[in-house]
């Protein structure tokens, strides 16, 4: 149907524009985001809990603007740390937002290209492109991004805590140059709060920027959240107060409660020849994640080089994916000892898989070893970084005192890290 839809050129565009204007009154908006949607400041920083509605609101806001002829010439770049993550997160949200405006006829107003991902508004010609920041190639690609019509004016970064400050600066530098009257540059950041040591807190919360609108929200601000979710959050409030504070109330996590608070996220040379030893750690999973980490040791420091985190796959499929991803077969692979059949499958596939030695206190001993070492994580290891941010000590429900036990939280990549360092932790006298 081309740009103009089924109704001819100008007539089709005008008809769709009228339908948009009539439809906007039927979109369900969360009242608490009214100021966010009206803001023209360069930065919109939206920190909130899961279920607060922040991401869906941003998707609706941007679809509404890019569908409006007043914003003709504007274009949007949507960013996740991992480019492929857009397929299961931001793209469905933007399509859902288009359906909120147009109902079952949304495809008449918006076209979707699946490879590479893109959306185009048939009313205005505005485009949406999707990108990642996970390696040098993707960063360079962003520096040269171009649109068929107009300029890049809007950037939406979902799960912004996954990005480094250097990643953010690259994106910020892309918004420059004189714009037509009525258009403006804007970066929107949406994220759940993690560690209070994160650069986002320092940059936008500790040192307020007059060019930034900072907004906080939680699930209780969302009138469209179902009762079952509210009940689950209330149960978490009793079972895991610290997790509820971060993921329920949308507040920053305190570093004093973190199990592994002193880690660095930075790029480093991952050539294996640099390290004294390189090993793999693997925590098995199906419904929860199956995590494989490549970990280097040098001068007492621990360097997490690469990760492969997969869900919902059987062992044969994971082995196939690991082989395709180039997971080295010549490295020792220290695995969860609870599943010897899986270890046998990895050995049959040519990997040097063997079980970790477990025993009373082994988890705390592994964590203590990591706490006493320099821990450096490559920025591409986003799953491990996300887990570490929410990995805190359990609290005594009566006294509030911290216990020598991690609170329940996703820890699949952390477990793989523990296994990877276990043999080194035990010292040169350890024998398998």
pLDDT tens-digit readout, 311-340: 999 999 999 999 999 999 999 999 999 999
169 and 276 share one domain? no
158 and 81 share one domain? yes
156 and 75 share one domain? yes
- Say if CB 299 and CB 372 are below 8 A apart: no
218 and 292 share one domain? no
Strand partners, 188: 44, 156
Question: Is the pLDDT confidence value at 59 over 90?
Answer: yes
User: Is residue 158 classed as helix, strand or coil in its secondary structure?
Assistant: strand
Question: Is the pLDDT confidence value at 343 over 90?
Answer: yes
Phi, psi (rounded to 5 degrees) for 161: -65, -15
Listed in sequence order, the residues at least 6 apart from 26 whose beta carbon sits closer than 8 Å to its beta carbon are: 100
Residue 432 lies in a domain: no
Burial of 114 (0-12, 13-18, 19+ CB in 10 A): exposed
159 and 270 share one domain? no
Domain end, chosen from 211, 226, 241, is at 226
pLDDT at 12: 65
Query: Residue 47 belongs to a domain with what CATH number?
Result: 3.40.50.300
Residue 142 lies in a domain: yes
265 and 201 share one domain? no
Residue 338 lies in a domain: yes
Q: Total structural domains in the chain?
A: 2
Residue 376 lies in a domain: yes
Average pLDDT of the chain is 89
370 and 331 share one domain? yes
The residue range of the domain holding 104 is: 5-226
What's the gap between Cα 152 and its chain centre? 22
Tens of pLDDT along 244-261? 877 788 888 765 588 998
213 and 322 share one domain? no
67: which DSSP letter? T
Domain end, chosen from 226, 247, 270, is at 226
281 and 331 share one domain? yes
Distance CA 40, CA 271 (A): 45
Is omega for the bond preceding 45 within 30 degrees of 0, making it cis?
Answer: no
Domain end, chosen from 187, 204, 226, is at 226
204 and 323 share one domain? no
Residue 276 lies in a domain: yes
- Tokens (6 digits) for 86: 């857009």
Q: Are strands 352-355 and 212-217 parallel, antiparallel or unpaired?
A: unpaired
Phi, psi (rounded to 5 degrees) for 376: -120, 130
Distance CA 204, CA 218 (A): 19
Mean pLDDT to the nearest integer, 184-204: 91
114 and 207 share one domain? yes
Distance CA 404, CA 388 (A): 17
- Say if CB 142 and CB 133 are below 8 A apart: yes
Element (H, E) at 286: none
Residue 331 lies in a domain: yes
pLDDT at 398: 77
pLDDT at 429: 47
Residue 182 lies in a domain: yes
Residue 249 lies in a domain: no
Q: What is the pTM of this model?
A: 0.73
- Say if CB 9 and CB 152 are below 8 A apart: no
Tens of pLDDT along 275-312? 999 999 999 999 899 999 999 999 989 999 999 999 99
279 and 411 share one domain? yes
Query: Residue 388 belongs to a domain with what CATH number?
Result: 3.30.420.280
Listed in sequence order, the residues at least 6 apart from 88 whose beta carbon sits closer than 8 Å to its beta carbon are: none
């Amino acid at each position: 149907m081309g740009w103009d839809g089924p109704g001819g050129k100008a007539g089709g565009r005008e008809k769709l524009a009228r339908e948009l204007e009539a439809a906007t009154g039927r979109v369900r908006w969360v009242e608490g985001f009214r100021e966010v949607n009206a803001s023209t400041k360069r930065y919109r920083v939206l920190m909130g809990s899961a279920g607060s509605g922040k991401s869906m609101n941003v998707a609706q806001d941007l679809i509404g603007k890019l569908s409006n002829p007043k914003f003709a010439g504007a274009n949007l770049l949507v960013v996740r740390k991992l480019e492929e993550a857009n397929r299961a997160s931001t793209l469905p949200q933007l399509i859902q937002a288009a359906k909120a405006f147009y109902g079952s006829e949304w495809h008449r107003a918006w076209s979707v290209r699946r490879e590479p991902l893109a959306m185009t508004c048939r009313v205005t010609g505005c485009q949406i492109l999707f990108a990642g920041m996970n390696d040098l190639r993707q960063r360079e690609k962003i520096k040269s991004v171009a649109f068929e019509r107009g300029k890049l004016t809007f950037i939406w970064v979902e799960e912004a805590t996954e990005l480094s400050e250097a990643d953010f600066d690259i994106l910020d530098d892309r918004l420059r140059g004189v714009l037509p009257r009525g258009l403006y540059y804007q970066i929107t950041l949406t994220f759940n709060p993690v560690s209070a040591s994160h650069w986002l807190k320092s940059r936008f919360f500790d040192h307020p920027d007059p060019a930034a609108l900072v907004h906080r929200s939680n699930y209780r601000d969302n009138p469209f959240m179902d009762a079952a979710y509210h009940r689950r959050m209330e149960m978490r409030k009793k079972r895991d107060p610290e997790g509820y504070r971060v993921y329920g109330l949308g507040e920053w996590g305190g570093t004093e409660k973190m199990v592994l608070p002193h880690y660095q996220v930075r790029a480093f040379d991952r050539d294996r020849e640099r390290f004294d030893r390189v090993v793999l750690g693997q925590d098995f999973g199906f419904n929860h994640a199956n995590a494989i980490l490549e970990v280097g040791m040098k001068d007492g420091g621990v360097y997490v080089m690469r990760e492969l985190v997969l869900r919902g796959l059987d062992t044969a499929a994971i082995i196939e994916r690991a082989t395709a991803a180039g997971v080295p077969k010549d490295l020792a692979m220290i695995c969860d000892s609870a599943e010897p059949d899986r270890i046998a499958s990895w050995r049959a596939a040519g990997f040097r898989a063997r079980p970790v030695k477990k025993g009373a206190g082994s988890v705390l001993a592994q964590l203590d070893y990591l706490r006493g070492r320099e821990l450096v994580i490559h920025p591409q290891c986003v799953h491990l970084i996300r887990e570490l941010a929410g990995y805190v000590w359990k609290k005594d429900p009566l006294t509030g005192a911290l216990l020598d036990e991690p609170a329940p939280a996703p820890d699949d990549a952390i477990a793989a890290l523990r296994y990877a360092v276990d043999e080194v932790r035990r010292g040169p006298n350890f024998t398998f």
